[in-house]
Structure formats: structure tokens, C-alpha cells
Amino acid sequence: MALLAACSKPADIPAGETLAIPVESSAFVDLDGVTTALGGAPKLAPGLTFLGGMELSSPEPLFGAFSSIRFRDKERFLGVFDTGYFIEGRITRDGTGRLAGLSDVRLAPLLDADGRISPSKYLVDAESLALDGDRAYVGFEQRHRVVAYSPVSDLGQARPSAPLPLPFDVTRLRSNGGIEALVLSPTASPLAGALLALSEKSVDENGNNYAGILSGPLQGEFRVKPHDGFEITDGAFLPDGDLLLLERRFSIATGVGMRLRRIAGATIRPGAVVDGEIIFEADNRSQIDNMEGMDAIVAEDGSIHLIVVSDDNHSILQRTLMLEFRLAN
């Protein structure tokens, strides 16, 4: 696997190669770091604690547009940008254990089955990711599909499978609101390690989000009930089998909002309309942005750490943030 040097203009990463890039970070510990005339303080359910965060930047213009993140272990991660790139790297921590930065960061273009780079962003608008060993499931919108890339241990060589069958009508998905979350269920749960796909803002005649169980004994479609204009942007299963959803709201009047909602795993089955309790909500007053990616990690003490990242849309008005929360068992 060849490794290229970072440059000061958008890189041209040849197919089959990766690009090493520097990433700079500015850490913060106060979730109420931004004060505006809009909204109030963040709301955290009992047992949920904000641990810290950081703002990330890079001289490499390709950096940004995070859509999803998954952790290989407690430090190493894999993510996708909606501009058609994989990102891999490692989180670093300071002496107190808080997030401090990223290291060993590399980018690689999402290739087609013939190993070619797509000529159009329309074809590689990656919005969701699930990691299963050396295979990564990636969900795309606009040209809606879910494929499996492998081997992701060598991103430069990763190739996609044929699109997976989906249990709902793909033609009902909105072009800019399709499959926004791919999540693998725990193997010990009733879903038995199945892959789930959830849409962002594609709804049925009752206003409920399309979602599906793509594999396993309970394969089929279900729905997710939305609330208050919030839209699904990612999800992660917790060790007990519950599904945690990351949700976002944006309007000119209120700005951006972030929400975490916990869905009881036992309610997820074909034909169901699932809902759950809100365990976190924040708006413009908090250190949040366009939060689009999330994963859950089991820490050494058995608690669950949630790591959430934002999509800056390559806009000077937005930031790439990484936030960390602790969820007690």
C-alpha cells in the first residue's frame, strides 16, 4: 500500500493508494462553550455525562464532511466522508484521559468494483457505515444502495460488493434523505447480529421513517417514529441490545440541534413502529454542529463511551467536532 504526502490543495489520490494527512485539534471540556441568543442549556438524562470534545482541522482540503464513524477498538476508527472517501486513524488522549487529538490519519477514495474512482459525487455520496471485521458496509444516498467493502484493513485495495437487497421500496427514498444509518446488532440479541438500515427523512404515508432489518432471523421492514423535526443521522447498538439513535434538526429560526434517543432492542421487529426516550438534547448554545456520526465503545470500567462527529460540509461557517459522552450501565 503506497503512502502519499499531504499537500496544500485538494489531493489527487490515485486508485489503490492512500493519503496520510495531518489533523490539528483544539480540545474543550465545557459543552456550553458557545453562547447565542437561541435556545437553552443541554439536557442530559441521569447516567449520561459529557467528558469533553475537540475541534478538528487539517491543511488538506479533502478533510471534512464526516458522515459516519466506527471504532475497530478503543482507539482506532474508520469513517466515511460524503464526498466519497474513507478515513482511518487513531484518537489520542491527554493525561486525564480526555480526547486530545487524532494520529495516523489516512484517506482513501471509495472505489468501484473495477478499482476505479468515481467521476461523480452523485455515485459516492456515502452517508452510513457499519464495520464487521475486515468488511465495511457503506450506505449511499442519491443513488441509494448498501454495499460491502473489503478488505478495509487495506483501504487502498477495498472493493465493493454488489448492492445488498433492501426490505423496503428504494424508490420511496428521498434523494437527499436516504439511508443515513447502518448498524450491526449484537450477536446475542434477538436480531442475532443482523444489519439494520435506517433512513434520514424518507417517510411513509403516516410520517414514519423507513427502516429495515437486512439479514438474520427477523429480516424485514419496520418504521421509526420521528419527533419535533429531528432527523436520524446515525445509530449504534448498546451492549444490552438497545439501539441509540443520533438525530439532528436544522432550521433558519432555531439553528442546529442534536438529540440522542434510546430505542428498546426488544421492540425492533418486522412491522413495528419503534420509538424511545430522549437521553440528550442540545441546540446552538452548546458545543455542537451538524452532528452526523456516532459509535459506542465499552471502556475499561464497563461504562459505555459515545463518540460523536460532525459534518462541516466544507463550509467556513461550520466545524468538524468530535464529542465524547459516558453512559453508565
Tell me the C-alpha distance between 183 and 241, whole Å: 12
pLDDT per residue, tens digit, the chain (329 aa), is 433 433 445 568 999 999 999 999 999 999 985 444 444 689 999 999 999 999 999 999 999 999 999 999 999 999 999 999 999 999 999 999 999 999 999 999 999 999 999 988 889 999 999 999 999 999 999 999 999 999 999 999 999 999 999 999 999 999 888 999 999 999 999 999 999 999 999 999 999 999 999 999 999 999 999 999 999 999 999 999 999 999 999 887 778 999 999 999 999 999 999 999 999 999 988 999 999 999 999 998 889 999 999 999 999 999 999 999 999 97
Q: What pLDDT shows up at residue 329?
A: 74
**R_g over Cα of the chain:** 19
Phi-psi region of 79 (alpha: psi -120 to 50; beta: other; left: phi over 0): beta
Tell me the C-alpha distance between 285 and 246, whole Å: 18
Q: What pLDDT shows up at residue 3?
A: 38
Q: What pLDDT shows up at residue 9?
A: 53
Tell me the C-alpha distance between 269 and 309, whole Å: 29
Q: How many CB atoms lie within 10 A of CB 9?
A: 9
Q: What pLDDT shows up at residue 285?
A: 86
Contact 34, 41 (CB under 8 A): no
Domains along the chain with CATH numbers: 3-30+43-327 (2.115.10)
Entry pTM? 0.94
Q: What one-letter code names the amino acid at 308?
A: V
Q: What pLDDT shows up at residue 253?
A: 77
Q: What pLDDT shows up at residue 252?
A: 78
Q: What pLDDT shows up at residue 10?
A: 54
